[in-house]
Amino acid sequence: MDPKLGRMMLKEWVAIESDSVQPVPRFRQELFRMMAMAADTLQRLGARVASVDMGPQQLPNGQSLPIPPVILAELGSDPTKGTVCFYGHLDVQPADRGDGWLTDPYVLTEVEGKLYGRGATDNKGPVLAWINAVSAFRALEQDLPVNIKFIIEGMEEAGSVALEELVEKEKDRFFSGVDYIVISDNLWISQRKPAITYGTRGNSYFTVEVKCRDQDFHSGTFGGILHEPMADLVALLGSLVDSSGHILVPGIYDEVAPLTEEEINTYKAIHLDLEEYRNSSRVEKFLFDTKEEILMHLWRYPSLSIHGIEGAFDEPGAKTVIPGRVIGKFSIRLVPHMNVSVVEKQVTRHLEDVFSKRNSSNKMVVSMTLGLHPWIANINDTQYLAAKRAIRTVFGTEPDMIRDGSTIPIAEMFQEIVHKSVVLIPLGAVDDGEHSQNEKINRWNYIEGTKLFAAFFLEMAQLH
């Protein structure tokens, strides 16, 4: 495909304010427009396209909004060829020029080879790169080396509302002939070296509520004669992790997969400039000093982060209040082979033990509000070999074989429900700024990424 045409399409797509996070009618209309534009693009490629009605989304305030359709599309049904299904999403995080963007977030703007705009790297750019790769074979009047399927949604940033039910329903229909699933919704670990992602951490999100009463107290009238909820909560949160990042919940490391020599070697092979990484993160010192330790604690060991306290006084000024009810929020990033329900029991038991030793008259309630499993793939699967060969062809280098410290629930969902091999092939550089101000994709990554996907089709055809 002509790079100018590819950039024009990206400009059109970025211009649509397809924000799924803010549940308001205007953005929901934009999402429907975005999905219609994508469906039209695929139809013009010759794909059979179905836009699946997902029904309404019930909001906490009792109102409802329509969920944008999920696109199921297919190109080719040759039984002698492998079938590759691409997942992508076309919704974006909120963006506003006044939040610190240097350019209008919904006007794709090129500055020194960087294409700035909301959704440029997450995830409109990679979706279009895949479409561009397909259209290149069409433009050259060549048969596609593999059968292609698409599943494209518009609610990923809002938790992929209703998608799991659709995948479950379609596992013996749309997904029945699928051999491999490709996702391109994360980033490299460097600015210039491509990567393949074969694992992500899961996430268990907890709240711990400590309550004396619903109303706050005056510290002059009640200070000194109460079990203060905030003191209890600070003690509870302080019991979870030590100053070296080690989680203090008994048994939490019991099910963590043992470290092998082969795994250590994969960390050694990854290019990561620690000094550059530290400087770009604007952090004075990390907990660990070597590349291998940093990567292992980001990817293959669990971590516990404390996120905030609801109900506490956090405004400027000096308010002499004793909060009557406070809620602490923290989460644990899970790794293979940790189990969500086991972690829930371990955390609850630990907090109950700590709380009972305080002899407090307050009430404590622990809740796990989110439980997402970790995901890991077999890097010797056919499509991993094909992706490696395609990267060597396009970039002239071996890829970094990486895991992601964050959670991409869709990967684990596909692997569990559809039982097909899943690979993450990121296109964006480490500094693309997904979710933040001044999100961008480099022109070079966008164009070379399109070539990578085309080469991947050819390699898949050879190896299938």
Annotated binding site for Mn(2+): 89, 122, 157, 185, 435
Query: What is the Cα–Cα distance from 439 to 407, expressed in whole angstroms?
Result: 20
Query: What is the Cα–Cα distance from 151 to 234, expressed in whole angstroms?
Result: 45
Q: Spell out the residues 6+ positions from residue 447 whose beta carbon is closer than 8 angstroms to its own.
A: 3, 6
Query: What residues are designated binding site?
Result: 89, 122, 157, 185, 435
Query: Which of 85, 101, 83, 84 is CA-nearest to residue 93?
Result: 101
In this structure, are residues 214 and 327 in contact, taking their beta carbons and an 8 Å threshold? no
Query: What is the Cα–Cα distance from 256 to 302, expressed in whole angstroms?
Result: 8
As a dihedral over the C-alpha atoms of residue 415, residue 418, residue 423, residue 425, rounded to 10 degrees, the angle is -120
End-to-end alpha-carbon separation of the chain, Å? 26
Q: Which of 19, 74, 91, 209 is catalytic?
A: 91
In this structure, are residues 357 and 276 in contact, taking their beta carbons and an 8 Å threshold? no
Q: Can 431 be counted among the known catalytic residues?
A: no
Q: Is 374 exposed, middle or buried (0-12, 13-18, 19+ CB in 10 A)?
A: buried
Query: What is the Cα–Cα distance from 188 to 65, expressed in whole angstroms?
Result: 35
Q: Spell out the residues 6+ positions from residue 48 whose beta carbon is closer than 8 angstroms to its own.
A: 73, 74, 75
Q: Can 156 be counted among the known catalytic residues?
A: yes
DSSP codes joined into one string, 290-336: SHHHHHHHHHTS-EEEEEEEETS--SSS---EE-SEEEEEEEEEE-T
Assign residue 434 a region: left if phi > 0, alpha if psi is -120 to 50, beta otherwise?
beta
Q: Which of 156, 232, 432, 434 is catalytic?
A: 156
In this structure, are residues 391 and 196 in contact, taking their beta carbons and an 8 Å threshold? yes
Query: What is the Cα–Cα distance from 196 to 207, expressed in whole angstroms?
Result: 34
- Residues 274-310 as b or e (16 or more Cβ within 10 Å = b): eeebeeeeeeeeeebeebeebbbbbbbbbbbeeeebe
In this structure, the strands spanning 83-89 and 48-52 are unpaired
Beta bridge partners of 237: none
Active-site residue list: 91, 156
